[in-house]
Amino acid sequence: MPVTNFCFGGPDLRTIFFTTFTELGRIRVGVPGLDPDREIEQVTGAGWTAEGRTD
């Protein structure tokens, strides 16, 4: 059954909640997901855009 959506949750963000067309499930994992309230620093240097690689 294909997964239609998923997200990290739980108090320690170590539970993946997922849905299929007919089911809802959860899986405990060893590595936590990113906290949505965490501030992310800007990365500089070479990277990729929709137009291709930037230097």
Written as tens digits, the pLDDT of the chain (55 aa) is 799 999 999 999 999 999 999 999 999 999 898 877 777 666 666 666 666 666 6
- Taking the model in full, what pTM does it have? 0.61
Amino acid letter, 35:
D
Q: Give which of 16, 20, 18 is closest to 2, Cα–Cα.
A: 20
Distance CA 44, CA 39 (A): 16
User: Parallel, antiparallel, or unpaired: how do β-strands 5-9 and 24-28 relate?
Assistant: unpaired
